Amino acid sequence: MSSVDVPVALLGYGTVGAAVHRLLIESAEDIERATGHRLRVVKALVRDLDKERGFALDSDILTTDVADVVHAEDVALVAEVMGGVDPTSDYVVDLLSAGKHVVTANKQLIARQAGDLFAVAAKAGVQLRFEASVCAAIPVIKVLRESLVVSHVHRVLGIVNGTTNFILTKMEAGHDYEAALAEAQTLGYAEADPSEDVGGDDAAAKMAILATIAFGSRVTLADVQYEGITEITTGHIQAARELGMSVRLVGAATIVEDKVDVRVGPALVTSTHPLAAVDGAFNAVMLQGDAIREITLEGPGAGGIETASAVVADMVSIVGTTGTGFLQDDPCWRSLERLDPGRLRSPFFLRVEVDDRAGVLARIAERLADHDVSVARLVQHQRDAGAELYIVTHESYTGAVSDALVEIADLPETHGKPSALPVISDRGIAKA
């Protein structure tokens, strides 16, 4: 299949816009493989042409005149990543009316004006997609709209603002509110006006969007009762900890007696609840429904490249659903060899029953060391017939742990068969 060149444009070239450009270049082959299209940024609207940019680009791409994008005849797809409602709303209407598909990361725009914008898009026969407007990298819009289309979701509960979750978890670790907010701004998590984050407006807009899709009934920002974290003090954080709980900014959209309630506010979450474990700028959304019972989606909720992944996914969906059928095609494009099972690395918990006498521990440690298995923790329990050892290793090759255990099982001091279980202690984020 010969590649189709697709000129695209960006409204905004800040934290998200620059990351979208970078991802389109770095993932060009993946996109082409999936869709047969090569997306090329030809215009990007900014306010200041002389500003330092996060990702280098040809100087003739930048413009301060939106007409350069609206009237660019070769551009059929635009990502709106400039934020704000005014003049952004007019720009998006002009783009849709001009027959251009639009992808947006702008939750304030969608939460306030989605009805009008969809009407314009439908009239012009183009798509308006907004995955990145809620929870950055988490594909919750697509899951709700496609995967759960018949699931009758009746409750959505979530942490949907990365900046405030970052601040709250920093405060839990003893950091100061102002310093944590400044760090969130430096890391590109916060809105241009961070009072939208800490005041709850950002989370409220996202909950309005989630409720609209989950319940199939329009909920706008004005329908959401919300407050942020500005009144939360270290006293609240300490009190929560004493009670075995955490303070989180929680959004809840619920159907009660066929009526909709959507609210956002600080809440105490018990330490065993999935939302209590959501750390830093991560978000999580719990979807509760008849058939699905409960599904939790968790992932990065803010950040340039994280948000760009959702913007680019929407762009790919648009080019991939107009002219090609990649959503239905066989998704396999390469053949990976199977990893030798012994080459997978993990920390392990080992349980070994042994004679309780001098030198036994040393002999076991020696067998582990011979296979480069390092001990992180060791606990010994006295038993009638000897001792029971609980050993937690540092990350080691599975095969090395198995080989060491075979030798340990053969020691005359060992009783029965030692056992090994992998320890899952990280967030499962591994670099490929």
Q: Is the CB of residue 255 less than 8 Å from the CB of residue 215?
A: yes
- Nearest CB to ligand HSE, comparing residues 89 and 283: 283
Q: What are phi and psi of 146, to 5 degrees?
A: -110, -60
Residue 353 and residue 389: Cα distance in Å, rounded? Answer: 6
The total of other beta-carbon atoms located within 10 Å of residue 178's CB is: 9
- Nearest CB to ligand HSE, comparing residues 16 and 405: 16
Residue 404 and residue 370: Cα distance in Å, rounded? Answer: 8
- CA angle (48 as vertex; 117, 13 as ends), nearest 5: 50
Query: Using CB under 6 A as the criterion, what x/- string covers residues 106-145 for binding ligand HSE?
Result: ------------------------------x---------
Residue from 201, 202, 314, 353 in contact with ligand HSE (CB under 6 A)? 202
* Strand bridging mode 62-63 / 348-354: unpaired
Nearest to 130 by CA among 144, 110, 154, 147: 110
Tokens coding 272: 């065993």
197 binds, among ligand NAP, ligand HSE, none (CB under 5 to 8 A by kind): ligand HSE
Distance of closest approach, residue 150 Cβ to ligand NAP, in angstroms: 29
Radius of gyration of the chain (CA): 26
48 binds, among ligand HSE, ligand NAP, none (CB under 5 to 8 A by kind): ligand NAP
The total of other beta-carbon atoms located within 10 Å of residue 286's CB is: 18
Q: At what angle do helices 28-35 and 304-321 cross, to 10 degrees?
A: 30
Interacting span for ligand HSE (CB under 6 A) from 61-69, 89-97, 185-193, 332-340: 185-193
Residue from 163, 169, 288, 317 in contact with ligand HSE (CB under 6 A)? 163
Residue from 266, 301, 304, 347 in contact with ligand HSE (CB under 6 A)? 301
Residue 319 and residue 315: Cα distance in Å, rounded? Answer: 6
**Closest residue to ligand NAP in the complex (CB):** 14
Interacting span for ligand HSE (CB under 6 A) from 52-60, 157-165, 313-321, 401-409: 157-165
- Nearest CB to ligand HSE, comparing residues 185 and 322: 185
Query: Which amino acid, 216?
Result: G
Asked if 302 interacts with ligand HSE (CB under 6 A), we say yes
Distance of closest approach, residue 11 Cβ to ligand HSE, in angstroms: 17
Q: Please report, as residue ranges, which positions from 326 to 345 form the binding site for ligand HSE (by CB under 6 A).
A: none
Per the annotation, the verdict on 259 as an active-site residue is no
DSSP secondary structure, 366-414, as one string = HHHHHTTPPEEEEEEEEETTEEEEEEEEPSEEHHHHHHHHHHHHHSTTE
- Nearest CB to ligand HSE, comparing residues 309 and 414: 309
Tokens coding 242: 């004493």
- Nearest CB to ligand NAP, comparing residues 46 and 312: 46
- If DSSP codes are grouped into helix, strand and coil, which group holds residue 266? strand
- If DSSP codes are grouped into helix, strand and coil, which group holds residue 152? coil
Residue 98 and residue 96: Cα distance in Å, rounded? Answer: 5
161 binds, among ligand NAP, ligand HSE, none (CB under 5 to 8 A by kind): ligand HSE
The one catalytic residue among 43, 100, 107, 206: 206
Nearest to 44 by CA among 74, 70, 9: 9
288 binds, among ligand NAP, ligand HSE, none (CB under 5 to 8 A by kind): none
Q: Is the CB of residue 105 less than 8 Å from the CB of residue 192?
A: no
Distance of closest approach, residue 381 Cβ to ligand NAP, in angstroms: 49
Per-residue H/E/C for 186-211 = HCCCCCCCCHHHHCCHHHHHHHHHHH
Tokens coding 147: 């995967």
163 binds, among ligand HSE, ligand NAP, none (CB under 5 to 8 A by kind): ligand HSE
Asked if 190 interacts with ligand HSE (CB under 6 A), we say yes
- Nearest CB to ligand HSE, comparing residues 104 and 163: 163
Residue from 189, 282, 326, 348 in contact with ligand HSE (CB under 6 A)? 189
Residues that bind ligand NAP (CB under 6 A): 12-17, 45-48, 51, 81-84, 87, 105-107, 132, 136, 188-189, 191-192, 302-304, 307
Q: Active-site residues: which are they?
A: 206
Interface positions with ligand HSE (CB under 6 A): 136, 161-163, 189-191, 197, 202, 301-302
